[in-house]
């Protein structure tokens, strides 16, 4: 490992916000370990682009965050290949929207399993290494709906509210070990996750955003980079809303 270079593990980073976070951290001289669930040709291109453009190492690690053994494997592989983990970004997440009246137990559980239990699974495996090295930054991607609630998203907002409680509790547990834990709560961000929304819904959303636009994955990645950097060394247990002013 090159002197001073940090190593970051980002879950669900094959596309969308996670991919942009991996690029932003690489741009800022981090070696990056990109977790993905399903292999695609674009992933090899992303690895090549990151390595050539930013002159850092990029490792691809397969695994489903909802499966504890997969989380254990992605952490182990990252450390074997990149030497350590300084930054963990728990980004993998899904939605399975629907009104509670019609929501199946499976749709409730699978969202909790990936978004919330997945965050536990990966963090649980990273923490012993961070404790040993007496430093670390963990950034958990929540959502504004974890704070405000949203009709049709009981499963998703419960998982994202859970991530906020998890973040604050863990921040208190590990602050004495110089491990800082924060959460970023994005508003409406233009990615594949929100591409499914109708134009009408998107227009309605824009009217509720003081900045009058949906966010970009880069808007989120830049804040994650700040929380991963030395510029945020006195910030822990916080939730930063990155939502164009939607929640105040």
The answer to the question of residue 140 lying near ligand NAI (CB under 6 A) is no
# of chain residues touching ligand NAI (CB under 6 A):
27
Q: How far is the CB of 98 from ligand NAI (least distance, A)?
A: 16
Pairing of strands 58-62, 6-10: unpaired
Q: How far apart are CA 91 and CA 15, in angstroms?
A: 11
By CB under 6 A, which span of 16-24, 96-104, 200-208, 232-240 interacts with ligand NAI? 16-24
Q: Please select the residue that binds ligand NAI; options are 6, 8, 9, 12, rule is CB under 6 A.
A: 12
3-state secondary structure of 187: coil
Decide if 54 is catalytic: no
Strand partners, 140: 90, 183
- 36, 54, 68, 156: the catalytic one is 156
Residue closer to ligand NAI by CB (options 178, 226) is 226
Strands (DSSP E) found in the chain: 6-10, 30-36, 58-62, 87-90, 136-141, 179-186, 239-242
Q: How far apart are CA 14 and CA 30, in angstroms?
A: 17
Contact footprint for ligand NAI (CB under 6 A): 11-12, 14-18, 35, 37, 64-66, 91-94, 114, 118, 141, 143, 186, 188-189, 191-194
Q: Which residues are catalytic?
A: 156
């Amino acid at each position: 490992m090159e002197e001073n270079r940090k190593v970051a593990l980002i879950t669900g980073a094959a596309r969308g916000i996670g991919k942009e976070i991996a690029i932003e951290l690489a741009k800022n001289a981090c070696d990056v370990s990109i977790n993905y669930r399903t292999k695609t040709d674009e992933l090899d291109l992303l690895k090549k682009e990151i390595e050539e453009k930013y002159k850092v190492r990029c490792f691809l690690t397969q695994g489903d965050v909802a499966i504890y053994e997969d989380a254990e494997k992605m952490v182990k592989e990252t450390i074997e290949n990149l030497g350590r983990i300084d930054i963990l970004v728990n980004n993998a997440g899904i939605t399975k929207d629907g009104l509670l009246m019609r929501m199946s137990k499976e749709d409730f559980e699978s969202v909790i399993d990936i978004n919330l239990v997945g965050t536990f699974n990966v963090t649980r495996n990273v923490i012993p290494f961070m404790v040993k090295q007496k430093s670390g930054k963990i950034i958990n991607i929540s959502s504004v709906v974890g704070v405000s609630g949203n009709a049709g998203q009981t499963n998703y907002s419960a998982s994202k509210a859970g991530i906020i409680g998890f973040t604050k509790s863990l921040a208190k547990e590990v602050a004495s070990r110089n491990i800082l834990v924060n959460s970023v709560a994005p508003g409406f961000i233009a990615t594949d996750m929100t591409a499914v929304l109708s134009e009408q819904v998107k227009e309605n959303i824009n009217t509720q955003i003081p900045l009058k636009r949906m966010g970009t994955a880069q808007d989120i990645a830049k804040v994650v980079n700040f929380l991963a950097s030395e510029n945020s060394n006195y910030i822990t247990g916080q939730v930063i809303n990155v939502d164009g002013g939607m929640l105040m």
